[in-house]
Amino acid sequence: MAQAKKKSTAKSKKGGSQGNQPLTILIILTVVGGGIFGLKYVSDTADFEPITFQWETSDSYFKNEENNKPVATSPKATSPESIPKTPSTPPPISNPTNEERMIETVETNEDLPTYTNDDQYYFSKSFDFAWPKYDQGDQIIEHEYYTLKYNEKTEQADWVAYSLTADHLKNAKFKRKDDFRADPAVQSKSAHPNDYKGSGYDRGHLAPAADFTWDEQALSETFFMSNMSPQAPGFNRGIWKKLEEKVRDWAMDNNQVFVVTGPIYTHYNQKIGSNKVVIPQGYYKVILELDGDEVKAIAFALSNEKSNMELYEFAKSVDELERETGMDFFPAMPDDLENKIESYYNYSDW
């Protein structure tokens, strides 16, 4: 894995957490992807046609709110004519509900892309190819072992991205110390552990601590509050934990995977703590695998609530997740390769 040097590029933002408060409890996180989302009503046709739901990134939502006009942050996002009011009862995040979701082949296996050794070298040496699309001036924080895009208005990451290898998992030897703390690399100041105290929500990792137990510094970095998000206990300790474990299994089976994780919103009304950390209504995770001459990707979107459903019922193609969120994953990839891996997924391949 290419290790990114510590640095941050950010525009000045007001507000932030109270970094001088005592550190008393745990915090949240998870990875990697292009942004947080807001749900909006968008009418596809005029007159009396049904209204459909469309996601957008939180950055786009807040820019629209401030400028009173639509601002597209991704070439794949559809620019609505106006920003409707948040529905009083937001609709649930749509998830597959039948076993047909277990195996979806938009393209045949024979159509899956291959790449040369030169391409493989490029992928392995240029980790930023796995980052979602972001705008100039966005607050990109590159820690030693993972990268995130911090959103001051939601006080958490829009996405967290990192590489996970079989060698790392085989060399696991350090135990978590739960050293939750504010992230000093966030120029506008990150959320604080106290924001979660008494809230009823877990400090949920976006980049899981269990993925980084092979290095003491790597493990410690996962406890920055910039890597935390308010997760319902039944979700964080249930279906979300199962997905994290499944990703580790896939890394062991495929030698290396790239992971992008982030929150999903249908509204921004619920907040916790003095820094007003927004509670997401769901989370997404995108997994990209490069092994030999095989390239594949799969995406998941889950509601922030306890669930007894099977993981495959939440699976979808990256293209489908992009259409729902307005995000653009893997924009640095060659277009033909990106289009192929994003349009196809087969859960049984993993």
Catalytic residues: 205
| E strand residue ranges, the chain | 7-9, 37-43, 51-57, 139-142, 147-151, 156-165, 202-205, 228-231, 256-264, 271-272, 277-278, 282-291, 294-303, 315-316
- On the CB side of 60, how many CA atoms lie within 13 Å of its CA? 31
- Helix ranges (DSSP H) in 149-283: 166-170, 216-221, 233-236, 239-254
Which H or E element spans position 325? Answer: helix 318-325
Rounded to 5 degrees, φ, ψ at 268 are: -120, 30
- CB neighbour class for 95 (10 Å; exposed up to 12, middle 13-18, buried from 19): middle
Contacts of residue 218, Cβ cutoff 8 Å, sequence gap at least 6? 144, 145, 212
**235: amino acid identity, one letter:** F
